[in-house]
A and B are shown apart, each in its own frame.
Chain A
């Protein structure tokens, strides 16, 4: 029991708690593979955040913060003419980011299950629009 409690407390200390927008960005990275850079991440994030709009500035700031936390990493691609001869800064999910996203997804699932229990299965089937 003590061991289990210690383990849980230890795990809590190690895992990163994510904000909603951070979860959106990490989800976008998870689904995009190697073609994840500023423009494409913003497009994907906007789909995930619908109907809210997502600014490219917010994406940069969040990616920067996630990189600092060690949840994502970045590298520069080759410069391309459609970008005026500039390189893309591509991002990928790191194992720590994957773990943090898994935890967030499990929590979101629990919230989803609990709310649909109260608000009804029809609400859940309609995708959460009342």
Chain B
């Protein structure tokens, strides 16, 4: 019987959400024929199980509230400016939408990778740091790509911004993305 290379298993295991890592790696191991087949199976399975876990661990209402709060945090950064910001202007909305979408996408991915053994406090801190980092990264990418017209220029954090992010922290603390694992494993773990 042939076995998949350990490095390939480690790599696939790193991408797989913890909720399904054990059985997916086991099934891929059992079905192993050659490296190409293993790679193809892993490439087709991994995105599907990630999306499945995201869908399963994400509550639509909580996600919508999070989206509103993050969007508000970026709009609020403009509140104290002397210039009038027209929020009905599609270009302005796009400037807000880009970092908001990046932050939300990172939170969604984090939902997919929710694990029971992660300490809640640490996980929330990491969630928020990654979300803020993703939003910041979009601005850096726009700067490098020479598209400052799409950046949140003259934006600065305000009390409202902090309140909005505090609300996101509260939402994630009160309604954590739950990973569901079979009872037997939960007891053993």
**Chain A residues proximal to chain B, CB less than 8 Å:** 37-39, 55-58, 60-61, 64-65, 67-68, 73-76, 82-84, 86-89
The stretch from B24-32, B80-88, B140-148 touching chain A is: B24-32
Chain A's nearest CB lies how many Å from the CB of B131? Answer: 25
Is A39 a contact partner of B48 (Cβ separation < 8 A)? no
Residue pair B27, A57 in contact (C-beta under 8 Å)? no
B17 to A: closest C-beta gap in Å? 11
Closest 7 CB pairs of A and B: A86-B26, A89-B23, A57-B48, A83-B26, A38-B27, A84-B29, A57-B45
Closest to A38 in B: B27
Interface residues on B, range: 20 to 34
B46 to chain A: closest residue by CB: A57
B183 within 8 A of A: yes
Least CB distance, A91 to chain B, in whole angstroms: 9
B45 proximity list for chain A (CB < 8 A): 55-57, 60
Interface assignment of B182: CB less than 8 Å from any CB of chain A: yes
Which residues of chain A come closer than 8 Å to B31, judged between CB atoms?
Answer: 39, 56
Pick from B1, B27, B56: contact of A56, CB below 8 A.
B27
Contacts A/B (CB < 8 Å), 6 sampled? A38-B24, A60-B20, A64-B20, A64-B52, A82-B30, A84-B4
Chain B residue numbers with a CB within 8 Å of A73 are 182
Nearest residue (CB) in B for A43 is: B31
Q: Is the CB of A84 within 8 A of B49?
A: no
Residues of A close to B24: CB separation below 8 A? 38, 60
Q: In the complex the two chains form, what is the Cα distance from A73 to B31 in whole Å?
A: 23
- Knowing A38-B27, A84-B25, the reply to whether A89 touches B44 (Cβ < 8 A) is no
Given A58-B48, A60-B48, the answer on whether A83 and B20 have CB atoms closer than 8 Å is no
Residue B160 interfacial (CB < 8 Å): no
Q: How many whole Å from B63's CB to the nearest CB in chain A?
A: 16
Determine the residue in chain B with the shortest Cβ distance to A73: B182
- Which residues of B lie under 8 Å from residue A89 when comparing CB positions? 20, 22-23, 182
- Asked if B23 and A87 make an inter-chain contact with CB atoms under 8 angstroms apart, the answer reads yes
What is the bound-complex CA distance between A86 and B23, given in angstroms? 7
Which residues from chain A contact B188 at a C-beta distance below 8 Å?
A: 76
Please give the distance in Å from A107's CB to the nearest CB on chain B.
27
Question: Of B4, B9, B49, B184, which contacts A60 at CB under 8 A?
Answer: B49
